[in-house]
Structure 1
Amino acid sequence: MKIILNMKQAIIKATRTTHAVGWATLKEWAAYRSHMAVSIIVGPIYFLVQYFIWDAMFANRETLNGFTLEEMLVYYGAMSVITYLTFDFADWNLQMLIRTGKYTTFILRPVSHRFFALSQKIGHRTLGFWLEFLPVLLIYLFIFKINLIPPEPGWAIISVILGFLMTFLLNYCIGLTAFWLTNAGGIRRIFLLIRDLSGGMFVPLTFFPDIVQTILFFLPFQFMLYVPVQVFIGNYELAGISLSLPQIVGIQALAVIAMWGVSEVLVRLGENKFTGVGV
């Protein structure tokens, strides 16, 4: 009974902290809402570029790697709007705190920086939901006539939330490399390229050779965007492996838990090094 009571109190405390930090972040970024509103222009322009490219690719064929032109446009439309929900820059914020020594203040606080940063991300993306996701989704639905209504909304929402967490945890781990590197900027740029390429941002992962698909299946990058997009569309396949939505979402959840464990190890090792040198 005492354990349950303690867990309840911990959950209430965490919820209050998340709400406070998230709300403060939302109000802070609301002052720069015009910056986020630019996405209403950038997103559709990016989609139009993809349309012209793939329209030319499908000029003399009905399908390409199992995709029709309509399915390809749905893929890029879903990729675009989901990116607005999972966008994250925790790696940049974290490496700046470590480089400047300001991370010290978080070691002394009762709330870990990782939880604080996640709460910030929730607030930031809540604002992004209203200023970026919804307007662009409506443009795709009513102007471009792209069907972006998921056949299984429940699984799609769960997968997007897990993609949100995976994106944050992976970026956070990259930011933690600043504990060992003087400047993690180079690692960050390489990571961003690998992340986007291996996460299906440029082309669906099924376009890669079979051996590459097999490697990508066991890497965490697909769980950031590719899996949420596939669940959003209503089916999943990679490396010749077809999984039901509950199966792939379950694997995605396990991957998120594993990445949380990796981040926990890196946080402890990094903080030991950080305090060990007298910062």
Structure 2
Amino acid sequence: MKYIRHKIEVMKAVALVTYKEWSAYRTHSMVSIFVGPVYFIVQYFIWTAAYGNRTELNGMELSQMITYFGASTLIGYLTMDFADWNLQMLIRTGRFLTFALRPIHHRFFAFSQKVGHRVLGLIFEFIPCYFIFTLLFRIHMVPKHFGWTLLSVALAFLMNFYVHYILGMTAFWFTQSSGIRRVFDLLSGVFSGVFIPLVFFPMGLQKALFFLPFPYMSYVPVMVFTGEFSLAGIQMEIPTIVGLQGIAVAFTILLSEVIYKASIKHFNGVGA
């Protein structure tokens, strides 16, 4: 218990410092108050035109589609991650050496940073946009299963962090991994369901996505929010898909540890 309390205290301290640091640039976060709704409006007109006189497309009604993109935007504010950028910067400049000498694992430090950063996002991005969607656009932004949605968003939070941290560790081999990061961000945007629901992809690809991390980063929590999950023609109960998401997160955490132990052997302190 003493060890756990110590970890919690360290996390709170790092998260608080990160919150204060980024709050100095909170106007950057507040830009999302405009970007999010604009993105939503674009999606609204696109899908309204796509539906025309039809009541549903690929099993999704227009109202569900509108809720989907509203929830996708809000959940994105809570789960977005920058661990890959931060880690590759530390490795490239040699500053990672200071963390290698500290009595705290850098991954835990980076996770604590994300907690503080996303608390800032909750206050300056999520809450304002939530009221914009509900009061201005009149969208019913209340999850059908609040508890399962909260758990799924928490798992997506973890999945986003560990996947991006794994991506950042490629810098141990390549030093400069910005190109890999850009490719991954594009793939993530497409295959996590941010740009289009995954049920619109070919059936074979939908089946393959079950074994990739992308759906568990956005699509799954968004569908849990709507109360119905379907992919590759398979409809799952909400507890089942959240359980599957939990297994995917656990596997990613273990993979992260394995890759970290292999990666640290390649660190040569470039730029230090």
Does TM, scored on the shorter chain, surpass 0.5?
A: yes
Alignment length (residue pairs): 272
Distance in 1 separating the partners of 2:262 and 2:144: 44
Alignment correspondent of 2:193: 200
Of residues 109, 123, 136, the one that matches 2:102 is 109
Corresponding position: 1:49 with 2:42 = yes
Map residues 112-123 of structure 1 onto 2, 5 A cutoff: 112-123=105-116
- Distance in 2 between residues matched to 1:10 and 1:251, nearest whole Å: 30
TM-superposition CA deviations, 1:80-99 (whole Å, max 9, x none):
00000001111000000001
- Determine if the alignment matches structure 1 residue 139 to structure 2 residue 132: yes
Residue number in structure 2 paired with 1:4: none
In the alignment, structure 1 residue 73 sits paired with structure 2 residue 78: no
Is 2:93–2:270's contact at 8 Å kept on the other side of the alignment?
no
Q: Which runs of 5+ in 1 are unaligned?
A: 1-7
Give the counterpart of 1:161 among 146, 149, 154.
154
Moved over 2 A (4+): 275-279
Letter in 2 for 1:49: V
The equivalent residue for 1:242 is 235
Looking at structure 1, the residues matched to 25 and 271 of structure 2 have their Cα atoms a distance apart, in angstroms, of 37
| Structure 1 vs Structure 2 CA RMSD | 1.4
Structure-2 separation of matches of 1:185 and 1:276: 18
Structure 1 position 60, deviation (Å): 3.1
- After TM superposition, the structure 1 = structure 2 runs for residues 180-191 of structure 1, keeping only pairs within 5 Å, are 180-191=173-184
The change in CA–CA distance for 1:276 and 1:138 in structure 2 (over 3 A counts) is closer
**So what's the TM-score if we normalise by structure 1?**
0.95
Who is 2:33 aligned against?
40
Query: Are the aligned partners of 2:167 and 2:181 in contact in 1 as well (CA < 8 Å)?
Result: yes
The match for 1:253 is: 246
CA distance in 1: counterparts of 2:185 and 2:69, whole angstroms = 19
Answer 1 or 2: higher relative contact order, Cα 8 Å, separation at least 6. Answer: 2
Unaligned regions of 5+ residues in structure 2, if any? none
**Quick one: distance in 2 between partners of 1:269 and 1:45?**
43
CA distance in 1, matches of 2:165, 2:225: 25
Map 1:82-97 onto structure 2 (within 5 A).
Answer: 82-97=75-90
The SS at the match of 1:158 is helix
Q: Residue in 2 aligned with 1:22?
A: 15
Paired residues of 2:78 and 2:122 also in contact (CA < 8 A): yes
| 3-state SS, counterpart of residue 180 of structure 1 | helix
Q: Could you tell me how far apart the structure 2 residues matched to 1:257 and 1:61 are?
A: 41
Q: What do the CA deviations read for 1:91-125 (whole angstroms, capped 9, x no partner)?
A: 00000000111101111111111000000000000
Taking the aligned partners of 1:257 and 1:110, their CA distance within structure 2 comes to 25
- 2:24 — aligned with what? 31
Q: What letter matches 2:265 in structure 1?
A: N
Q: Give per-residue Cα distances to partners, 1:209-239, cap 9 Å, x unaligned.
A: 1101000111111110001101111111111
Aligned to 1:127: 120
Mapped partners of 1:62, 1:31: distance in 2? 47
Deviation at 1:49, TM superposition (A): 0.4
Aligned-partner Cα distance in 2 for 1:108–1:21: 17
Partner of 2:54: 61
205-214 vs 56-65, greater mean Cα deviation = 56-65
Give the equivalent residue in structure 2 for 1:209: 202
Question: Under a length normalisation based on structure 2, what TM-score does the superposition of the two structures give?
Answer: 0.97
Q: Report the Cα offset of residue 273 of structure 1.
A: 1.5
- Residue 247 of structure 2 aligns with an amino acid whose one-letter code is L
- Percent same amino acid at aligned positions? 52
Which residue number corresponds to residue 152 of structure 1? Answer: 145
One-letter code aligned to 1:220: P
* In structure 1, C-alpha distance between the alignment counterparts of 2:28 and 2:271, rounded to whole Å: 39
Q: Is residue 178 from structure 1 mapped to residue 171 from structure 2 by the alignment?
A: yes
1:163-204 CA distances to partner (integer Å, 9 max, x unpaired)? 001001001111000011131011101111111111001111
In structure 2, distance between residues paired with 1:59 and 1:42: 26
CA contact (8 A) 2:97 2:269 kept: no
